[in-house]
Chains A and B, each alone.
Chain A
Amino acid sequence: MASIATPDKHPIALANSRWARFKRVRRETLAGWLFALPALLMYAAFVLVPLLLTIVYSFYRWNGIGPMSWVGLKNYVTIFQVPDLLGTIFNAFWLVLWFSLIPVGLGLIVSSVIHRVATGRFGEIARTVLFLPQVIPLVAAGIIWGWLLALPGLINQMIKAIGLGAITRAWLGDFDWALPSVGLIGIWVLLGFCTVLLLTGMTRVDQALYESARIDGASWLTEFVAITVPLLRHEIGVCLTVTVTAALAAFDIVYVSTAGGPGNSTAVPGIQIYILAFTQRAIGLASALAVMLMILVVVVILPIQRLTRESRQ
């Protein structure tokens, strides 16, 4: 703050100037808060207040129209007792494998391959193509794959073409295969995102490291294990954060491709919350599941964030 110095030593003048300064600082603070206010209000009205209300609803039994009755923790107990409800949380963790671990792992391999054998135009095209599924609506991804995985769809046709006609099935309608099939859609959508993000990280790493490794004749695997993975910890952490959130809070793809079925085999918390609240009118129970979902996301994301923070230092 470059305030104009007052050489005047008179106490009253000094006090006056201090008062003026105080008033100016106060005015600036006020102005500053006015700048932050609109964003804060919108955020409070449509995120923070709903968040608190979700917690409040979760302690009541309510059908959305009639009176609310206090039930304490009963809704939470119900979730733990009803296998179909608790199952959605297990399904969410299963999805983490498909939406997160595989795309990040595969993305690491793909980006290091691009970095090693396709630095030119070809690499650029590969990057763009792999990124395409990331820009279309998830709903469209769900519809596209719903058709590909259907009985007469492309996947079964290819399986028949290589002579395995016996294993063809309606993949999304099969109790055992529906969840991995939904997972495949997740891989398709998220692989490009992870690849491009990791590739950007690789160009940030000192290229001399790669060059000297290659002069020493390092294989792709050595380079991958010794340089790429350790130095990309931050980017890997970011990929994990984004994809794990996408897995735990999945809704669009599942809703469009299977709507949670067959049975409850692909029901994830997002779907179950929607069904409970908007078709079964069990607002309290749906809210309890919503609170558990939010806690779950925080519990899973925090350790990942911690790891990335540490690697930055």
Chain B
Amino acid sequence: MRVSRSELWTGRAFLLALMAFTILPFISIFVTALHPSGTVPSGFEWPAHPQWGNFIEAFQVAEMPKLIMSSTFIVLAVVPVALIISTMAGFAIGLLRIPGSAVLLFLFVFGLTLPFPGIIIPIYFLERAIGIYNSRFAIVLPLIGLYMPFAVFWMRAHFVNMPAEISEAARVDGATTWDLFWRIHVQLARAPIASLGILMSVWTWNQFLIALVLVEDPTNRTMAGALGAFQGHYATDIPLLCAGTILILLPTLIIFVLFQRQFITALLQGAVKG
């Protein structure tokens, strides 16, 4: 390596500056959250008497336990179903290569860059018509459908690279298609399934537009949707709003720090494949 000393330090100073740009907003809302509720503090000043109670108050007024329950319910309803059906479809398209799989693949790929706001209006009227509007299923069902393009594409990319010998050997042993899928290929696909699961969980947790349009009661929404409602009520009480925001983004931050490597890999592979 021949990188001069001056370059080394300029480069590192540049990186430190950008890291500060990334981190400062978090610190600022944290500091603000500790100011007395109802005041308008200036952006970056440690309070004389840190009000840790703000977090407790935000926890109560935002009905955090209910929100966590609701978001968890939605994630648990969306992710396993989406994982199973997308893995099955990816298997059929990528490995069984059923007749018409090229058309199917095209159909799913077509949906990859479809913007949500483009299809939200009919979803609203459809849900009113079938009577699931304003329930948690109003969020769950469309999300499963909306994840399909990416999820199927993702799983297909895994299955299409599996050597044919594995399936042929199993067939000779008399395995049915279901055996082939469940006993062999799902076991071999655990890593991409896990990554996809992490991704879809976080996306669901952070989902906003769908929750905003399809569910009126914030306690039936996702975390991000509830945060939107919380902002509507407490827009003027900055310290409380900041405390609530921290509480709501804490779970994803913790998950990110814990599963950092898988998380980044999953997201990047997803982007590259897409």
Chain A residues close to B by CB (< 8 Å): 2, 28-29, 31-33, 35-36, 38-40, 42-51, 53-54, 57, 64, 110, 113-114, 116-118, 122, 125-140, 143-145, 147-148, 152-158, 188, 191-193, 196-197, 200, 211, 214-215, 217, 220, 234-235, 238-239, 241-242, 245, 248-249, 251-252, 255-256, 269-270, 273-274, 277-278, 283, 286-287, 290-291, 293-294, 297-298, 301
Complex: how many Å from CA A43 to CA B18?
40
Whether A117 lies near B26 (C-beta < 8 A) is no
Give the residue among B149, B205, B208 with the most A Cβ atoms within 10 A.
Answer: B208
Whether A54 lies near B121 (C-beta < 8 A) is yes
Complex: how many Å from CA A278 to CA B178?
45
Cβ–Cβ < 8 Å partners of B212 in chain A:
255, 274
Cβ–Cβ < 8 Å partners of A125 in chain B:
19
Cβ–Cβ < 8 Å partners of A51 in chain B:
114, 118-119, 122
Closest chain B residue to A308 by CB distance?
B272
Complex: how many Å from CA A171 to CA B198?
36
Whether B119 lies near A143 (C-beta < 8 A) is no
Known: A28-B96, A131-B264. 6 other contacts (CB 8 A): A42-B144, A128-B260, A135-B253, A140-B249, A147-B241, A251-B208
Whether B145 lies near A249 (C-beta < 8 A) is no
Whether A293 lies near B122 (C-beta < 8 A) is no
Whether B111 lies near A47 (C-beta < 8 A) is yes
Cβ–Cβ < 8 Å partners of B264 in chain A:
127, 131, 196
Cβ–Cβ < 8 Å partners of A215 in chain B:
2
Whether B22 lies near A192 (C-beta < 8 A) is yes
Q: Taking A57-B122, A64-B125 as contacts, is the C-beta distance between A140 and B145 under 8 angstroms?
A: no
Whether A139 lies near B18 (C-beta < 8 A) is no
Complex: how many Å from CA A191 to CA B14?
14
Complex: how many Å from CA A158 to CA B213?
38
Flag whether B50 is at the interface (Cβ < 8 A). no
Whether B115 lies near A129 (C-beta < 8 A) is no
- 9 A-B pairs closest in CB distance: A46-B145, A249-B115, A154-B43, A32-B98, A117-B11, A39-B89, A53-B122, A137-B224, A50-B122
Complex: how many Å from CA A220 to CA B10?
11
Complex: how many Å from CA A273 to CA B213?
12
Complex: how many Å from CA A58 to CA B155?
35
